[in-house]
């Protein structure tokens, strides 16, 4: 019935990376380690230490759970009371650099 849109190539990896980063640890049944602690770090002070911890968490999460992506760099900056994360990576067997932006907001 064409209800589901099939995502392929770079878009599939971008979607997977975004889902991994926005999923909290212990959120998925039977996969307690899958995910990251980014949502917890959003409520920490927005200083250089937190940004380094965020970048390290992103790198570890992508390296552990997304074998199709080879991370190039992570850039974190503050914009309108939210943390903006630019993630650049190469997709397996593709020559182009893919840059994805994830916005992390403080919500109660």
Residue 60's CB is within 10 A of a number of other CB atoms, namely 12
State the pLDDT confidence band at 89, using cuts at 50, 70 and 90. very high
User: Exposure string (b/e) for 23-57, b if CB count within 10 Å is 16 or more?
Assistant: beeeeeeeeeebbbebbebbeeebeeebbeebbeb
State the pLDDT confidence band at 108, using cuts at 50, 70 and 90. low
- What's the whole-model pTM score? 0.81
Mean pLDDT, rounded, for 31-58: 84
């Amino acid at each position: 019935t064409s209800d589901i849109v099939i995502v392929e190539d770079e878009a599939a990896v971008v979607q997977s990376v975004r889902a991994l980063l926005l999923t909290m640890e212990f959120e998925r049944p039977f996969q307690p380690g899958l995910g990251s602690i980014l949502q917890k770090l959003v409520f920490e002070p927005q200083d250089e230490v937190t940004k380094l911890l965020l970048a390290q968490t992103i790198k570890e999460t992508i390296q552990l759970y997304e074998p199709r992506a080879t991370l190039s760099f992570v850039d974190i900056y503050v914009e309108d009371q939210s943390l903006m994360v630019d993630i650049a990576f190469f997709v397996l067997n593709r020559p182009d650099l893919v840059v994805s932006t994830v916005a992390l907001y403080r919500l109660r």
